[in-house]
Amino acid sequence: MPNMPDYEQARASFSWSDARGWLDGQPGGGLNITHEAVTRHARGPLSDTIALRWLGKHGHQRRFSYAALERECSRFANVLTKLGVTPMEAVFGLCGRIPELYIAALGSLAHRAVFCPLFAAFGPEPIHARMNQGRAKVLVTTRRLYTSKIAQLRERLPRLEHVLITDGDPPPGCLDLRALMAEASETYTIAPTHPEHPALLHFTSGTTGQPRGALHVHEAVVTHHVTGRLALDLRPGDVFWCTADPGWVTGTSYGIIAPLTNGVTVFVDEGELDPTRWYKLLEHEAVTVWYTVPTAIRTLMRAGIELALDRDLSQLRFIASVGEPLNPEAMRWGLEAFAQPIHDNWWQTETGGIMIANYASMTVKPGSMGKPLPGIVAAIVERRDDGSVRVIDKPNVDGELALRAGWPSMFRTYVGREQRYNECFADGWYLTGDLAQRDRDGYYWFVGRIDDMINSAGHLIGPFEVESGLLEHDDVAEVAAIGKPDSVAGEVVKAFVVLQPEVEPSPRLRRALLAFARKRLGMAVAPREIEFRASVPKTRSGKIMRRLLRAQELGLPEGDTSTLESESLQPPMWMSRGP
Ligand code: AMP
């Protein structure tokens, strides 16, 4: 029987204050993520249960019981104490999916430092922008990542005091994390933590500026726990695999915190997506709950359904997907391949946790993101010119998806951008920047983004970041970056480049620019395609009309460009409609 057998009933009786009682809390009213995720289990009946089961790229395995994980987190927290890191200072992680990253995240939270994960496929410029804004004091990374990406930035990061190298033999100016951990005590008492104490910093892309750091507090753990239980249906004894990298918000909230607070075993695969291996892992690791992204599902689809049907996946009980639209075709394929639905759910960096979902007990409508979590009030709204919003009650009408502000994992600010943060709210609603519809049955359907953000394989990429990276090249005069539809990744980044007057376009220059972008921006942000243009279309006020470029790219009628110039609700034209 699912954890939430009756959605309507759960919704009617749910309250966040009751849900807080699902967790232990610290004596005296404190609430600390690591206490809830690790310490309380390490000191209770789950102490010997495997918390983290890690499989390395080369087949090497490491396992940590809850008790062992607590010891490692304590050591890390003691290392931070020794280094003079005080609560609220920022510890950044730039690693692949290695146990040290999980330990650093949870150890930092135990110490009440702010933890900020960075995706290892970022290049030096995106890393610099985030570490600089987030005032990184400590960085946990590997020797290879340090040498290839951080060493060249070190002078531009004056606040960065300590670089902890996870795999020994630290380069000059870095410390050996293993040696520090070996010397550190394995006991640490988590100080009483105010629920509003800053905990996690997650960067999200902006369309018109640098990435924005969304700050979350320890109280977010209430949403993580509740959604793990109600939206992912996590139960004792589960083996949970979240394929998202902890360099992104999903990989932290659901790759680390939510499953651990629910006391299950987290399986971590260090390797990259490979259909044959993934099916093998689902079977051999006896995964019961699997949380992945549509890009991965589409990749599996391409590899052929036989690979799935050849495996015994009878233990797999619940599959969920997030990050981009799960197209009905992928849904139907999932039903055939796994003999069960894939449960799409929706959330974003700012919401800190799942807000809208298809629950285990609910009928899934292919293509819908599902219904709001108990405790979450959602609506479709229209922004008015005076800054207020009008709630659209009529079903099946496009509008902006809004959430009543005030749930535990709602971001508390964008660091250093208070005004931008305030602009996200109107009349008590948090405005998500997504266009959606609600149907007569209360199901929500994703329509598109209001802004120009690119969603590639479930990762949001800000066009501005791509454009600024390419503009650094001497031959480039202007750039416009857009998301070009892609059958696997949803979108890939395409850049339109205007060259300096004396420079001639050539295939060689295109290759050079692609390589330049990859080096500076990294694989995660760099464009996949470059097209030379004599000019890029702009509004009268000089803003790049990316939407027009997208329409041209698709060979769609360009429409009335005066509409494109305004900030009106205009869904991206290729997005399929909902119900
Ligand atoms: P991020 O903040 O990077 O996690 O990206 C959040 C954005 O991804 C949302 O605002 C949506 O535009 C998109 N997104 C997340 N989940 C879904 C989903 N289930 N369906 C469609 N788009 C989604």
| Of the candidate ranges 213-217, 454-458, 477-481, 566-570, the one whose mean pLDDT is the lowest | 566-570
- Establish whether residue 324 lines the binding site of ligand 1, counting it when its CB lies within 6 angstroms of any ligand atom: yes
Mean pLDDT value across residues 291-304: 94
- Selection from 242, 228, 338 nearest residue 283 by Cα: 338
**What count of other Cβ atoms lies within 10 Å of the Cβ of residue 158?**
8
What confidence tier does 568 reach under pLDDT thresholds 50, 70, 90? Answer: very low
- Establish whether residue 351 lines the binding site of ligand 1, counting it when its CB lies within 6 angstroms of any ligand atom: no
- Establish whether residue 322 lines the binding site of ligand 1, counting it when its CB lies within 6 angstroms of any ligand atom: yes
Concatenating the DSSP letter of every residue in 257-272 gives: IHHHHTT-EEEEE-SP
CATH of domain 454-566: 3.30.300.30
Segment holding 312, helix H or strand E: none
Q: How far is the CA of 448 from the centre of ligand 1 (A)?
A: 9
Q: How far is the CA of 499 from the centre of ligand 1 (A)?
A: 34
Mean pLDDT value across residues 253-272: 98
Tokens of 138: 């400590």
Is the pLDDT assigned to residue 573 strictly greater than 60?
no
Give pLDDT, residue 561. Answer: 39
Cα distance between residue 57 and residue 76, in whole Å: 24
Mean pLDDT value across residues 330-345: 95
Q: How far is the CA of 453 from the centre of ligand 1 (A)?
A: 10
Mean pLDDT value across residues 18-47: 96
Q: How far is the CA of 191 from the centre of ligand 1 (A)?
A: 35
Percentage of the chain beyond pLDDT 70 is 96
| Of the candidate ranges 196-200, 226-230, 245-249, the one whose mean pLDDT is the lowest | 245-249
| Of the candidate ranges 184-188, 189-193, 467-471, the one whose mean pLDDT is the lowest | 467-471
Mean pLDDT value across residues 367-392: 96
Cα distance between residue 470 and residue 520, in whole Å: 9
Q: Tell which wins on pLDDT, 146 or 458.
A: 146
Name the residue of 455, 491, 574 whose CB sits within 8 Å of the most ligand 1 atoms, as the mutation to test its pocket: 455
Segment holding 339, helix H or strand E: none
| Of the candidate ranges 13-22, 40-49, 232-241, 570-579, the one whose mean pLDDT is the lowest | 570-579
Mean pLDDT value across residues 533-553: 85
What confidence tier does 131 reach under pLDDT thresholds 50, 70, 90? Answer: very high
Give pLDDT, residue 557. Answer: 66
What confidence tier does 540 reach under pLDDT thresholds 50, 70, 90? Answer: confident
Concatenating the DSSP letter of every residue in 495-513 gives: EEEEEPTTPPP-HHHHHHH
Nearest CA to ligand 1 atom 16: 323
Give pLDDT, residue 207. Answer: 67
Radius of gyration of the chain (CA): 23
CB-based contact 202:418 (threshold 8 Å): no
For domain 7-438, the CATH superfamily is ANL, N-terminal domain (3.40.50.12780)
Is the pLDDT assigned to residue 480 strictly greater than 70?
yes
Report for 69-78, 328-337, 557-566: range of highest mean pLDDT: 69-78
Q: Which residues of 246-285 are buried (b: 16+ CB within 10 A; e: fewer)?
A: bbbbbbbbbbbbbbbbbbbbbbbbeeeeebeebbebbbeb
> Within 13 A of 266's CA, how many CA atoms are on the CB side?
32
CB-based contact 465:210 (threshold 8 Å): yes
- Establish whether residue 249 lines the binding site of ligand 1, counting it when its CB lies within 6 angstroms of any ligand atom: yes
Q: Which residues of 73-109 are buried (b: 16+ CB within 10 A; e: fewer)?
A: bbbbbbbbeebebeeebbbbbbbbbbbbbbbbbbbbb
How does pLDDT run across 140-185, given as a tens digit for each residue? Answer: 999 999 999 999 999 999 999 999 999 999 999 999 999 999 999 9
Cα distance between residue 224 and residue 215, in whole Å: 15
- Give backbone dihedrals phi and psi of 281, rounded to 5 degrees, phi first: -65, -45
**What count of other Cβ atoms lies within 10 Å of the Cβ of residue 497?**
26
Residue type, 293: V
Q: Beta-strand (E) ranges in 324-377?
A: 342-346, 356-357, 371-372
- Establish whether residue 364 lines the binding site of ligand 1, counting it when its CB lies within 6 angstroms of any ligand atom: no
Is the pLDDT assigned to residue 569 strictly greater than 70?
no
Is the pLDDT assigned to residue 563 strictly greater than 80?
no
Mean pLDDT value across residues 403-430: 97
- Selection from 204, 189, 217 nearest residue 88 by Cα: 217
**What count of other Cβ atoms lies within 10 Å of the Cβ of residue 575?**
15
Tokens of 77: 């927290």
Is the pLDDT assigned to residue 23 strictly greater than 90?
yes
Mean pLDDT value across residues 73-101: 97
- Selection from 22, 433, 24 nearest residue 223 by Cα: 22
As a whole number of angstroms, the longest Cα–Cα distance in the chain is 72
Segment holding 383, helix H or strand E: strand 378-383
Q: Which residues pair with 164 in a beta bridge?
A: 140, 175
Give pLDDT, residue 575. Answer: 30
Residue 567 carries which DSSP code?
A: -
Give pLDDT, residue 578. Answer: 37
β-bridge pairing 356-357 and 342-346: antiparallel
Q: Which residues of 368-386 are buried (b: 16+ CB within 10 A; e: fewer)?
A: bbbbbbbbbebbbbbbeee
**What count of other Cβ atoms lies within 10 Å of the Cβ of residue 186?**
13
What confidence tier does 544 reach under pLDDT thresholds 50, 70, 90? Answer: confident
Residue for token pair 């927290």: 77
What confidence tier does 451 reach under pLDDT thresholds 50, 70, 90? Answer: confident
| Of the candidate ranges 30-39, 256-265, 460-469, the one whose mean pLDDT is the lowest | 460-469
Tokens of 355: 């807000």
Give pLDDT, residue 201. Answer: 98
Mean pLDDT value across residues 241-261: 97
How does pLDDT run across 192-211, given as a tens digit for each residue? Answer: 999 999 999 999 987 667 89
State whether residue 130 is helix, strand or coil: helix
Q: Is 202 exposed, middle or buried (0-12, 13-18, 19+ CB in 10 A)?
A: buried
Please state, in angstroms and as integers, the Cα–Cα distance from residue 183 to each residue in 86, 173, 221, following that order. Answer: 20, 20, 31
Residue type, 317: R
Q: How far is the CA of 432 from the centre of ligand 1 (A)?
A: 10
Name the residue of 347, 371, 401, 577 whose CB sits within 8 Å of the most ligand 1 atoms, as the mutation to test its pocket: 347
| Of the candidate ranges 226-235, 279-288, 543-552, the one whose mean pLDDT is the lowest | 543-552
Domain boundaries, the chain: 7-438, 454-566
Mean pLDDT value across residues 361-370: 95
Is the pLDDT assigned to residue 325 strictly greater than 80?
yes
Tokens of 204: 């999200």
CA 426 to chain CA centroid, Å, is: 25
CB-based contact 106:37 (threshold 8 Å): yes
CB-based contact 317:2 (threshold 8 Å): no
> What does pLDDT average to over the chain?
93
Helix, strand, coil shares of the chain as percentages rounded to 5? 35, 25, 45
What confidence tier does 506 reach under pLDDT thresholds 50, 70, 90? Answer: very high
Cα distance between residue 111 and residue 89, in whole Å: 10
Cα distance between residue 51 and residue 49, in whole Å: 6
